[in-house]
Amino acid sequence: MLAFVDADSQQKRVYGHKKQGAGFGHTKIQGKSVLVRGLNALVARVSTPLGAPVIAGTRLRGGTANSARGAAPFATEAVHAAAISHNLLRAAGALASLAYDKARGATIRADLIDAAARIARHGRGHITVHLPEDWHREHEWMNLFEAACGPPAQAA
């Protein structure tokens, strides 16, 4: 699997003297270098040649942070998060049915993960699943739900 990791630092300007974590830093506004007060954030995006970029993580850095401060371990964490997400998606497909065992991630996401289901909790440990009526993927979705949470309680 080929993936690209893009770690960007950005500064969000803030106003007021009570903003926690804000620091002064240089930024360019209309082509001029200006000293502004702001929050320094680090954002990691993971993308593949076939998929859209996904934000894998964000980190707020205190004070006047250099652009490269903490970028290397943060990029490593982003790659680990993407790998864990990919493995969990593949495991969900394998638990749902044999047809989804070899399916692409986009197919599993479209058919099972992006379902119009609603989960309601009633009291302590009672979970009710509301699926669309006559949904053609109900059996696979219930296999996945039972493998993750155990069989649902029988309605009275």
Quote the mean pLDDT of the chain: 79
Contacts of 20 (CB under 8 A, 6+ apart): none
Helices (H), 51-128: 71-96, 105-108
Sign for the pseudo-dihedral over CA of 55, 56, 60, 66: negative
Q: Which pLDDT score, from 0 to 100, does residue 59 have? A: 83
pLDDT the model gives residue 67: 67
CB atoms near residue 28 (< 10 Å)? 8
Of 25-29, 82-86, 116-120, 131-135, the one with minimum mean pLDDT is 25-29
pTM score above 0.75: no
So what's the pLDDT on residue 3?
78
**pLDDT digits 0-9 by tens, 93-138:** 888 888 888 888 778 888 887 777 787 887 777 777 788 888 888 8
